[in-house]
Chains A and B, each alone.
Chain A
Amino acid sequence: AQKVTQAQTEISVVEKEDVTLDCVYETRDTTYYLFWYKQPPSGELVFLIRRNSFDEQNEISGRYSWNFQKSTSSFNFTITASQVVDSAVYFCALEDTSYGKLTFGQGTILTVHP
């Protein structure tokens, strides 16, 4: 069975601090996809990144960066110089490529204070 664990339930930081959200996953598949989504108070899930299991290169997109380490089954997300607008719930998810289903972690509530 697939499983995604996000170690931090809630994180609180002050604006301009860097923050890392942890994600550890379990799967028996050799090919899989990992995702990060942002859920603002409005409730809609905002796509941030999709990573193929064969691509272990780290990725940077503006203030966002992702560290994928297959050896430790981790896919961590870092926000550099956090801003109040980053306050949201963040979900890590793993795709079952056989059925196209997503397994989500329990989410991390990030609060960025001014």
Chain B
Amino acid sequence: DGGITQSPKYLFRKEGQNVTLSCEQNLNHDAMYWYRQDPGQGLRLIYYSQIVNDFQKGDIAEGYSVSREKKESFPLTVTSAQKNPTAFYLCASSYGSGTGVLDYGYTFGSGTRLTVV
């Protein structure tokens, strides 16, 4: 079955450490997204990519980095510059903008819960 796989489900980071969250999709979607969820604040966009080898900053990109070397993969690195990384991270994919009524929107992964220890 097609879908999005995020790993790991739980991740613990020490102060000053970089960690990478994995996101893989087999839906043949062009666009992929990373969202951060904090209690009471909904989901906020970190980075998004509409095509391989291209990505754009979202609303809260500081302290994060991404790559899009393959269509199926969009890993997110939480760097030591991110001062408050404890949150729930969700990856999503879609056929991208402008696809009209044929596109039923987004598919979300099951998330990674990151905690700083």
Contacts and interface: CB of A to CB of B under 8 A. Distances in A.
A102 to B, nearest CB: 7
Interface residues of A, number: 28
Contact of A9 (B31, B40, B101): B40
Interface string A73-114: 000000000000000000101011111111111110000000
A43 B112 CA distance: 9
Contact of B110 (A33, A43, A103): A43
B105 A33 contact: yes
A100 B31 contact: yes
Interface of B: 31, 33, 35, 40-45, 48, 50, 56, 58, 88, 90, 92, 94, 96-98, 101, 104-106, 108-111, 113
Interface in A25-80: 33, 35, 37, 42-45, 47, 50, 52
Contact of A101 (B33, B41, B113): B33
B105 A50 contact: yes
Interface of A: 4, 6, 9, 33, 35, 37, 42-45, 47, 50, 52, 91, 93, 95-107
